[in-house]
């Protein structure tokens, strides 16, 4: 089901009409299962195969009728992906050239099956020329191997020597690129696993190896991996200022060689830089950088939403609530917002709830809360929400309850606050990962001291040891929901403690 949801989302984002996906007969019959299945996927009516099978055939997913429909539907969608008009959906020249080359290379492989002796070398030479210009090393090697083989078969020693020379030049570069990519993937894996046992010695060995490759080969891919790994090394060590410096250097190189780097590579560096500004609470730097970065991104693209996610958090963490509101408003008005996956939309809804609370406690927040964006948000209804999320979205449940707690404390509804803290406490018992989500657990342990002190800040005992554990643990948000800290937990605990004393100052992050 997730595969079909993803393919349908892409088709919808690229504005592919149903007539491009299905044959006319299926569309003319409005009651056809093809049509009903497509509409259900587009409008997020099916969360699982079980729901789809029940809706379409009143049966279970193992039914042959549903399995055949799903198989035919998948084939049609995959075939449609191949014929997406890339010229209308991709703007940067690098991406356009890469997609053209990959499409043509797929065509070359198909034509070889039909012994197309004229078309194959013609397309291969075109691919080779473009691949050399944009440093698509793998395609340079693949096309050169094929053309050298054709030259050998034709007894053309001059052309054989030409393509052999290209291979001698590019094969070592390709091997170096693959090694650099392998090192990068190892680091990425360890970071995503939040492996705390990774040693500084390992980092240094990987970084030194990549730096050596970058000094030996000027290939853009190797330069990119070297910069990213160096920045990640400082990121992992919590040295965000140095990580920002590395990203700035990388962007200077990319700006000077714009046709040699993909939009995805540039975005990765921009994203890392915004991460650094978020973790150091550097709002002015983040605002200046966002003006540049957002010009490079297609408005409404997944990268655009991901980048604004970080920028929103920077604004929220630094008390710039008007800017946070403007970002949230920009996101909610974007027509592609409705096409985001439900998980991401839910994340933005949590942001809306937290911002609503923060605007409630500052003097100038009332005016913003009167905007249309907040009209549908009712605190009473929000507090009555039963908070039901899937196991994979457990962190959403935690943040929903935390935000409910903030509203309950603001209303001095201590009975409700105690009930919410009790529910949160249940998550510390085998429902949260003891290592990956240690910060969540320590924060909830801090909260658990409040009912014991009858919510009197001066009487809270034993919370300090949990708070110090929070301060000692590293805070890292890479865009993954299980890492989400809408407000860093150590800052949020300080805020709650101060609020219980009667303070109404804006909440700001302790960098």
pLDDT tens digits along 417-456: 999 999 999 988 878 888 788 899 999 999 999 999 899 8
**Pick from 475, 478, 506, 509: nearest CA to 491:** 509
Q: What is the rounded distance in angstroms from the CA atom of residue 13 to the CA atom of residue 300?
A: 9
Helix, strand or coil for residue 112? helix
Q: Are residues 508 and 408 in the same domain?
A: yes
What mean pLDDT comes out for the span 263-267? 92
3-state secondary structure 443-497: HHHHHCHHHHCCCCHHHCCCHHHHHHHHHHCCCCCCCCHHHCCCCCHHHHHHHHH
Q: Are residues 370 and 410 in the same domain?
A: no
Of 139, 162, 182, the last residue of a domain is 182
How would you classify residue 494: left for phi > 0, otherwise alpha for psi between -120 and 50, otherwise beta? alpha
Domain-embedded: residue 443: yes
Q: Are residues 39 and 138 in the same domain?
A: no
Distances 510 to 172, 289, 471 between C-alpha atoms, Å = 48, 22, 10
Domain count along the chain: 4
Q: Are residues 342 and 426 in the same domain?
A: no
Q: Are residues 77 and 128 in the same domain?
A: no
Residues 350/399, Cβ–Cβ less than 8 Å? yes
Q: Are residues 417 and 438 in the same domain?
A: yes
Q: Are residues 80 and 95 in the same domain?
A: no
Of 160, 182, 204, the last residue of a domain is 182
Domain-embedded: residue 238: no
Cβ neighbors of 166 (< 8 A, separation 6 or more) are 128, 132, 140, 144
Domain-embedded: residue 245: no
Q: What is the rounded distance in angstroms from the CA atom of residue 491 to the CA atom of residue 510?
A: 6
pTM above 0.85, yes or no: no
Distances 446 to 25, 305, 460 between C-alpha atoms, Å = 62, 33, 9
Distance of CA 454 to the CA centre of its chain: 41
Q: What is the rounded distance in angstroms from the CA atom of residue 499 to the CA atom of residue 455?
A: 11
Q: What is the pLDDT of residue 96?
A: 87
Q: What is the pLDDT of residue 31?
A: 64
Q: Are residues 392 and 437 in the same domain?
A: yes
The answer on pLDDT for 510 being more than 50 is no
What mean pLDDT comes out for the span 257-270? 91
Cβ neighbors of 32 (< 8 A, separation 6 or more) are 25, 26
Q: Give me the helices (H) in 43-156, please.
A: 49-57, 64-82, 86-89, 93-112, 119-134, 137-154
Domain-embedded: residue 286: yes
> How many other CB atoms are there within 10 angstroms of residue 338's CB atom?
11
Q: Are residues 511 and 474 in the same domain?
A: yes
Q: What is the pLDDT of residue 195?
A: 57
Q: Are residues 290 and 350 in the same domain?
A: yes
Q: What is the pLDDT of residue 507?
A: 56
Of 38, 60, 84, the last residue of a domain is 84
| pLDDT tens digits, one per residue of 114-157 | 989 999 999 999 999 999 999 999 999 999 999 999 999 999 99
Q: What is the pLDDT of residue 88?
A: 47
The most confident of 1-15, 383-397, 400-414, 473-487, by mean pLDDT: 400-414
> How many other CB atoms are there within 10 angstroms of residue 248's CB atom?
15
Q: Which sign does the torsion angle of CA 266, 270, 273, 279 carry?
A: negative
Domain-embedded: residue 191: no
Instruction: Give CB contacts under 8 A, 24+ apart, made by 409-418.
Output: 409/455, 409/496, 409/499, 409/500, 410/357, 410/360, 410/361, 410/499, 411/379, 414/454, 414/455, 416/383, 417/450, 417/451, 417/455, 418/451
Q: Which two tokens stand for residue 4?
A: 């079909």
Domain-embedded: residue 253: no
What mean pLDDT comes out for the span 483-504? 87
pLDDT: is 156 or 80 the higher one?
156
Distances 426 to 397, 422, 438 between C-alpha atoms, Å = 12, 7, 15
* Main-chain phi, psi angles of 110, to 5 degrees: -70, -45
What mean pLDDT comes out for the span 110-115? 93
What mean pLDDT comes out for the span 296-314? 93
The helix (H) or strand (E) run that includes residue 175 is helix 157-192
Q: Are residues 465 and 370 in the same domain?
A: no
What mean pLDDT comes out for the span 77-93? 66
Instruction: Please spell the DSSP secondary structure of 230-270, one letter per residue.
Output: HHHHHHHTT-HHHHHHHHHHHHHHHHHTGGGS-HHHHHHHH
Residue listed under structure tokens 């714009």: 258
The most confident of 189-203, 211-225, 380-394, by mean pLDDT: 211-225
Q: Are residues 15 and 122 in the same domain?
A: no
Domain-embedded: residue 259: no
Domain-embedded: residue 488: yes
Q: Please give the residue range of the domain that contains residue 42.
A: 2-84
Q: Which two tokens stand for residue 3?
A: 């595969």
Burial of 210 (0-12, 13-18, 19+ CB in 10 A): buried
């Amino acid at each position: 089901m997730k595969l079909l949801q993803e393919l349908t989302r892409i088709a919808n984002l690229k504005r592919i009409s149903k007539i491009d996906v299905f044959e006319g007969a299926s569309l003319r019959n409005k009651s056809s299962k093809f049509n009903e299945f497509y509409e259900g996927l587009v409008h997020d009516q099916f969360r699982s195969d079980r729901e789809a099978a029940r809706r379409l055939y009143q049966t279970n997913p193992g039914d042959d009728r549903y399995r055949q429909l799903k198989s035919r539907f998948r084939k049609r969608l995959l075939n449609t992906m191949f014929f997406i008009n890339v010229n209308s959906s991709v703007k940067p020249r690098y991406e356009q050239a890469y997609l053209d080359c990959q499409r043509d290379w797929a065509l070359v492989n198909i034509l070889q099956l039909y012994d197309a002796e004229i078309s194959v070398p013609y397309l291969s030479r075109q691919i080779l020329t473009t691949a050399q210009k944009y440093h698509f090393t793998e395609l340079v090697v693949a096309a050169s191997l094929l053309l050298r083989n054709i030259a050998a078969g034709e007894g053309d020693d001059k052309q054989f020597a030409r393509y052999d020379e290209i291979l001698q030049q590019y094969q070592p570069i390709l091997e170096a690129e693959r090694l650099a990519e392998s090192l990068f993937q190892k680091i990425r894996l360890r970071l995503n696993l939040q492996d705390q046992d990774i040693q500084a010695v390992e980092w240094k060995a990987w970084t030194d190896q990549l730096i050596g490759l970058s000094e030996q080969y000027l290939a853009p891919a190797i330069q990119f991996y070297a910069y990213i790994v160096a920045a990640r090394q400082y990121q992992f060590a919590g040295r965000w200022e140095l990580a920002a410096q590395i990203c700035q250097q990388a962007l200077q190189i990319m700006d000077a060689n714009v046709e040699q780097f993909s939009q995805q590579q540039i975005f990765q560096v921009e994203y890392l830089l915004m991460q650094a500004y978020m973790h150091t609470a550097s709002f002015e730097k983040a605002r200046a950088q966002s003006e540049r970065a957002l010009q490079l991104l297609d408005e409404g693209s997944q990268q655009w939403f991901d980048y604004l996610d970080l920028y929103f958090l920077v604004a929220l963490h630094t008390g710039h609530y008007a800017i946070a509101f403007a970002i949230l408003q920009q996101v909610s008005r974007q027509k592609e917002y409705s096409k985001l996956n439900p998980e991401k939309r839910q994340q933005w809804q949590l942001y809306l709830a937290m911002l609503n609370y923060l605007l409630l406690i500052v003097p100038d927040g009332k005016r913003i809360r009167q905007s249309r964006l907040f009209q549908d948000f009712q605190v009473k209804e929000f507090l009555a929400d039963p908070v039901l999320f899937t196991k994979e979205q457990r962190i959403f449940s935690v943040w929903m309850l935390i935000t409910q707690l903030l509203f309950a404390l603001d209303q001095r509804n201590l009975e409700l606050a105690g009930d919410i803290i009790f529910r949160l406490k249940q998550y510390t018992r085998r429902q949260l990962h003891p290592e990956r989500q240690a910060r969540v657990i320590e924060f909830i342990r801090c909260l658990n001291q409040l009912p014991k002190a009858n919510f009197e800040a001066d009487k809270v005992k034993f919370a300090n040891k949990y708070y110090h554990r929070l301060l000692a643990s590293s805070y890292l948000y890479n865009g993954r929901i299980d890492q989400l800290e809408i407000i860093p937990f150590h800052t949020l605990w300080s805020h709650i403690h101060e609020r219980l004393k009667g303070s109404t100052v804006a909440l700001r992050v302790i960098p």
